[in-house]
Amino acid sequence: MSECTLCSEDTGTVLWRDDFCRVAWVDESAYPGFCRVILNTHIREMTDLPPADRQRLMTVVFAVETAVREVCQPDKINLASLGNLVPHVHWHVIPRWEGDRCFPDAIWAAPRREGTTPRIEDIRLRLSTQLTQALPG
């Protein structure tokens, strides 16, 4: 499917990958540590995957959540699988802080304030290291 951006390109810096899926860091300064877990095959819905593959994908999502929590120390984590604009199975793992520009609304909502987020040194390297230790690959 050539028009699918998740099939045709890496969106963000790939922190970890195997033959099944990849984890991409999203360079979004308002949400440091924002990652996407992207299935490497074009599938539209989670329920189109066999149960074992659903579990395999969620194991990666939960490993990313754990790494983001450890590295970023957010107040909350948001997990989202929307796919309205890009109908390809992928999960957003988004660290949230009470002072961020949209909190408590979704990050795609209109900002409530200018917002503040922490500066996290070596974030990509630290997340990549955590994922490499947590996941086979």
Domain ranges of the chain: 5-125
Nearest to 79 by CA among 89, 92, 68: 92
pLDDT at 2: 55
Mean pLDDT of 8-33: 90
* In the chain, % of residues over pLDDT 90: 81
> Regarding the domain with residue range 5-125, which homologous superfamily does it belong to in the CATH classification?
HIT-like (3.30.428.10)
| pLDDT tens-digit readout, 44-71 | 999 999 999 999 999 999 999 999 999 9
Give the separation between CA 37 and CA 81, rounded to whole angstroms: 10
The contacts of residue 133 (CB under 8 Å, 6+ apart) are none
pLDDT band at 84 (very low <50, low <70, confident <90, very high): confident
pLDDT band at 89 (very low <50, low <70, confident <90, very high): very high
Q: What is the pTM of this model?
A: 0.93
Mind giving me the DSSP string for 51-117? HHHHHHHHHHHHHHHHHHHHHH--SEEEEE---SSS-S-EEEEEEE-TTSTTTTS-TTSPPSSS---
pLDDT at 85: 82
